[in-house]
């Protein structure tokens, strides 16, 4: 049978080669963009988190020199004089301002280098302290439960302090998210119908946390200007809808839950009202949060102010103190002291570092990093820190110090005139060096200039051949 109208041999030789070549180039470019994280905004609407991180080539098994032992640790000690010399130039950058503090600590706890004295406004590096205390005091495997309780025809939605409770499941799976009101409403409606209940009144209980919902150390405009949501043991999507933060996140969650119940055939009489769980109430449905370790990883990586304040209350509860800003601050300080961390001059007004009344010394932050390794309960904290040039709040940092890509893990801190960085760097021979760099008097200059100055100090530590 002859081919009618189609001559297979008539196609030019390059007709196939050109599209294939373009496809290969596109695949290569996509692989490079994926590794760099440039596709994150399309894939995950921002930083994708640890589940999507591709290890730098230098860290893969294929790149390990022949004969290397997988568990071999670098040997030697870190020379403090070499560290001092390495950071001296970078510390003189005018972008850091006139009030600069630095503490560098060796793996053995020796103080290798210091600059300045006293305490500084920590900004979000204060979250390191909240995270450490959460792991140490509450425990990495603990979870928080959002419950639905029933007494007669009264249904009560009870907040358990899940900082990442959502209205509905996220499109992209997130390790920090386990519970959502939509699923909880489905479970509740199913259980109610099974028992023949089709109409209820609805209350909501956010009494797990007490005291003011906004810190006295925050300007009042933090709430009115939509910067933070009042802290609550019950909220969904952290009290935010369409970019607006609720002034009463527990009431908002109650209204959403009531609507979801009605959509599932349960009549809700009246509007939701604040309530306490009646005596003799039985549990109808519940959902557990992610573990504390997973919550801490998310709040450290993304510098989540809301989650940090919720965790501050859980630290207080676990320590037997009132679930308030003050109780949380006391409990965090006790956790640090118990770990033999120097808390001289420490003053906390919140768990997030939003307050300019907070005061922390660089030594406290640097020692917290090292102390985290001393216990299985807290050791995950070091792995939660953003990686220079690769993840979290360091994703777009170190562009002027690319030699330090992947060599620094640190928590950032930024307020107007305040810039800090706390974590550890791997110096040239492979030894970890723990540091905290703080500046709370930076001049009125572009934000990027101060951040780049911080990055250069950390990069200098990473580049230093400081072992002896």
| 72 domain residue, yes or no | no
Banded pLDDT at 74 (limits 50, 70, 90): low
Distances (CA, A) of 206 to 130, 197, 231: 22, 25, 10
| Rounded CA separation 182/231 (Å) | 22
Active site residues per annotation: 124, 127, 303
Q: Are residues 25 and 48 in the same domain?
A: yes
Q: Are residues 267 and 374 in the same domain?
A: no
| Rounded CA separation 455/437 (Å) | 10
- Domain limit, last residue, from 33, 63, 93: 63
- pLDDT tens for 125-169 read 999 999 999 999 999 999 999 999 999 999 999 999 999 999 999
Q: Are residues 201 and 251 in the same domain?
A: yes
Q: Is 197 helix (H, G, I), strand (E, B) or coil?
A: coil
| Rounded CA separation 189/136 (Å) | 38
| Residue 384, token pair as written in the block | 């939660």
Smallest CA-to-CA distance from 301 within 46, 35, 34, 31 is with 46
Give 166's DSSP letter.
Answer: B
Q: Which residues contact 389 (CB under 8 A, 6 or more apart)?
A: 395, 397, 398, 399, 402, 404, 405, 406
pLDDT score for 133: 98
Q: Average pLDDT for residues 69-85, to the nearest whole number?
A: 73
Q: Are residues 286 and 156 in the same domain?
A: yes
> What is the rounded average pLDDT for all residues in the chain?
88
Q: Is 71 helix (H, G, I), strand (E, B) or coil?
A: coil
| 245 domain residue, yes or no | yes
pLDDT score for 25: 60
| 11 domain residue, yes or no | no
Q: Are residues 122 and 173 in the same domain?
A: no
Q: Are residues 224 and 179 in the same domain?
A: yes
Q: Are residues 182 and 245 in the same domain?
A: yes
| 70 domain residue, yes or no | no
Q: Are residues 133 and 186 in the same domain?
A: no
CATH number at residue 275: 3.50.80.20
Q: Are residues 124 and 169 in the same domain?
A: no
Q: Is 149 helix (H, G, I), strand (E, B) or coil?
A: strand
Which residues partner with 439 through β-bridges?
100, 419
Smallest CA-to-CA distance from 312 within 421, 215, 241, 220 is with 215
Banded pLDDT at 446 (limits 50, 70, 90): confident
Per the listing, tokens 């330090």 go with: 404
Number of domains into which the chain is organized:
3
| 6 domain residue, yes or no | no
Contact 377, 134 (CB under 8 A): no
CATH number at residue 399: 3.40.710.10
- Domain limit, last residue, from 262, 290, 318: 290
Q: Which domain holds residue 279?
A: 145-290
| Rounded CA separation 254/208 (Å) | 16
Distances (CA, A) of 30 to 51, 55, 441: 18, 16, 42
Q: Are residues 308 and 428 in the same domain?
A: yes
What long-range pairs does 326-329 form, CB within 8 A, spacing at least 24? 326/211, 327/211, 328/130
Helix (H) or strand (E) holding 401: none
Tell me how far apart the terminal alpha carbons of the chain are, to the nearest angstrom: 82
| 94 domain residue, yes or no | yes
- Domain limit, last residue, from 254, 270, 290: 290
Q: Are residues 153 and 118 in the same domain?
A: no
Q: Work out the number of other CB atoms within 10 angstroms of the CB of residue 177.
A: 20
Helix (H) or strand (E) holding 261: helix 249-263
| 260 domain residue, yes or no | yes
Q: Are residues 212 and 260 in the same domain?
A: yes
Q: Measured over all CA atoms, what is the biggest interatomic distance in the chain, rounded to whole angstroms?
A: 93
Q: Is 173 helix (H, G, I), strand (E, B) or coil?
A: coil
Banded pLDDT at 19 (limits 50, 70, 90): low
Contact 202, 157 (CB under 8 A): yes
Helix (H) or strand (E) holding 421: strand 418-426
Q: Average pLDDT for residues 104-121, to the nearest whole number?
A: 95
| 73 domain residue, yes or no | no
């Amino acid at each position: 049978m002859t081919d009618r109208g189609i001559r297979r041999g008539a196609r030019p030789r390059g007709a196939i080669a050109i599209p294939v070549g373009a496809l290969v180039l596109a695949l290569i470019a996509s692989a490079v963009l994926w590794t760099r994280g440039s596709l994150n905004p399309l894939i995950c609407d921002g930083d994708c988190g640890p589940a999507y991180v591709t290890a730098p080539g230098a860290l893969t098994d294929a790149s390990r020199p022949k004969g290397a032992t997988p568990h071999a640790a670098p040997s030697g000690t870190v020379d403090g004089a070499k560290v001092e010399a390495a950071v001296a130039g970078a510390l003189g950058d005018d972008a850091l301002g006139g009030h600069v503090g630095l503490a560098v600590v060796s793996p053995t706890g020796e103080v290798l280098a210091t600059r300045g004295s006293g305490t500084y406004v920590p900004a979000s590096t204060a979250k390191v302290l909240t995270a450490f205390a959460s792991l140490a005091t509450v425990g990495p495997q603990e979870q928080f439960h959002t419950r639905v309780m029933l007494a007669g025809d009264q249904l009560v939605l009870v907040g358990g302090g899940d900082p990442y409770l959502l209205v509905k499941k996220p499109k992209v799976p997130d390790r920090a998210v386990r519970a959502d009101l939509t699923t909880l409403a489905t479970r509740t409606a199913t259980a109610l119908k099974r028992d023949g209940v089709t109409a209820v009144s609805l209350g909501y209980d956010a009494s797990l946390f007490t005291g003011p919902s906004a810190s006295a150390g925050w300007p009042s405009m933090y709430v009115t200007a939509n910067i933070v949501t009042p802290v609550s043991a019950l909220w969904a999507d952290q009290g935010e809808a369409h970019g607006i933060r609720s002034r009463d996140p527990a009431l908002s969650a109650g209204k959403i839950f009531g609507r979801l119940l009605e959509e599932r055939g349960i009549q809700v009489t009246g509007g939701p009202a604040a309530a306490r769980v009646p005596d003799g109430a039985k549990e109808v449905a519940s959902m557990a949060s992610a573990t504390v370790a997973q919550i801490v990883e998310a709040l450290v990586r993304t510098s989540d102010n809301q989650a940090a304040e919720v965790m501050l209350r859980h630290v207080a509860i676990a320590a037997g103190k009132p679930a308030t800003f003050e109780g949380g601050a006391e409990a965090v300080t006790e956790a640090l002291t118990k770990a033999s961390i120097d808390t001289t001059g420490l003053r906390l007004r919140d768990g997030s570092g939003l307050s300019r009344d907070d005061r922390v010394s660089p030594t406290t932050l640097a020692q917290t990093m090292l102390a985290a390794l001393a216990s299985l309960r807290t050791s995950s904290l070091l792995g939660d820190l953003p990686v220079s040039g690769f993840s979290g709040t360091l994703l777009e940092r170190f562009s002027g110090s690319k030699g330090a890509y992947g060599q620094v893990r640190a928590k950032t801190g930024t307020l107007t005139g305040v810039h800090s960085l706390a974590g550890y760097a791997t110096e040239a021979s492979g030894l970890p060096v723990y540091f905290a760099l703080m500046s709370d008097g930076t001049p009125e200059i572009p934000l990027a200039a101060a951040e780049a100055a911080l990055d250069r100090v950390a990069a200098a530590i990473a580049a230093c051949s400081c072992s002896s």
